[in-house]
Amino acid sequence: MHPAALFPADRPPSIPRMGHSSKTHPESEAWQQFWTGRARGGEHQFRDPEMARLLQRHWTKVFTESFNGRQDVDLVDLACGEGEVLALAAETAVALPATRLQAVGTDVAWDAVALAAQPVGDVRPVPAVADCARLPFSDESFDLAVSQYGLEYAGAEAFLEAGRIVKPGGRFHALVHVKGGAVEVSCQEVADLLGAVIEIALLDRMSDFIVTIPRAVSGEVSGEEAQSCADALRLALESVARVTGGAAPGPARDHVARLVQDCQSAAGRLGAYRTEDLQVWIEGQKAELAAFEHRMTSMVRVAQSEERLRDVVENLKAVGLEVSALETLAIEAGAPPLAWVLDARRSG
């Protein structure tokens, strides 16, 4: 039985420890929160179509090369998210009648692997919840180990783990966030916008407002107190609208603009809502904003410099893999890089 079959799709297994330290990398916690209860299409709302097409072309080429001439292929997608790369692998295999693909999708978040396990043709990816720094797979158990913007969240050991599980004759191929690259720059812009909104504390002002105004109506607090609360909310709304107006277009700006509108509309029709319902809504919005900002800063933190990736390459060579010269992926020559391309093979 394939080791990943130990984790059935209908129940969240605990993260296998496999005799390693039980400490999970801190970057993974925001991701677990991000995927909880999310439907497919979650992560890709942040990716522009040109970049999506480039990634798709890249993986289709990698899979076509790797599957050609092989009958049975064992593949694992590491930090697979909702399974975009797995789906491309499956589509490529379905188009090659001689290839039988056995795919495993592994991620630290149960809700992500559950999405990634959706079948494509007769390929049914097996979900495995795992920290990529401590994979629950035997040495040399996969023909192809792949990862797209994933391993770097699990730290440098994750690259060695990926190399460890590749069979003789097999391949490890990863796309990795680039320090100073296009994705890092746009994540930093989004993180700055969301950080500014959090600092303005709009949702705290909204929370004060929804509690104070009904109390002023019932005479429990003075008119001056109610007025100063309303002024504080108005100032916060104006500040957030100002920073949003100066931000680059995209999902983060739309998210914040919607938040401003919702606050304005709720504040203008307080009588239409129960205070408790609004408090729950405010807490939900705060958590979402904090998780979004944390995820953006974590993408910036994990982006790899050339020096760090060269260390990864040396480490993989030291454990016997042949590693191709480092390259980057970009929309066109001279454009800011979107990813490091790491390609390694185990001879045999």
Ligand X SMILES: C[S@@+](CC[C@H](N)C(=O)[O-])C[C@H]1O[C@@H](n2cnc3c(N)ncnc32)[C@H](O)[C@@H]1O
Whose Cβ is closer to ligand X: residue 123's or residue 129's? 129
* C-beta separation of 132 from 151 below 8 A: yes
Residue type, 251: P
To the nearest whole angstrom, how small is the minimum distance from the Cβ of residue 107 to ligand X?
Answer: 5
94 closest CA partner among 58, 55, 120, 65? 120
223-245 and 182-200 helices, crossing angle to 10°: 170
CB of 116 to ligand X, least distance (A): 8
Taking Cα atoms as reference points, which of 171, 175, 106 lies closest to residue 140?
171
Cβ nearer to ligand X, comparing 43 with 74: 43
Considering beta carbons, is residue 79 or 229 the nearer one to ligand X? 79
Of 148 and 285, the one with the shorter C-beta distance to ligand X is 148
Name the residue among 294, 267, 235 with its Cα closest to residue 243: 235
* Shortest separation between residue 175's beta carbon and ligand X, angstroms: 8
Which residue number is nearest to ligand X in terms of Cβ? 81
The least CB distance from residue 194 to ligand X, in Å, is 17
Enumerate binding residues for ligand X (CB under 6 A).
25, 27-28, 31, 35, 43, 79-81, 84-85, 107-109, 112, 131-133, 148-150, 153-154
Rounded to the nearest whole angstrom, what is the least distance from the CB of residue 223 to ligand X in the complex?
50
- Rounded to whole angstroms, how far apart are CA atoms 288 and 281? 11
Q: Which residue type is seen at 221?
A: V
Question: Which CB, 12 or 214, lies closer to ligand X?
Answer: 12
The residue whose two tokens read 């379905």 is 94
Min dist. Cβ of residue 307 to ligand X (A): 22
Q: Is the separation of the CB atoms in 329 and 337 below 8 Å?
A: yes
Nearest CB to ligand X, comparing residues 142 and 209: 142
112: its two tokens: 């992500």
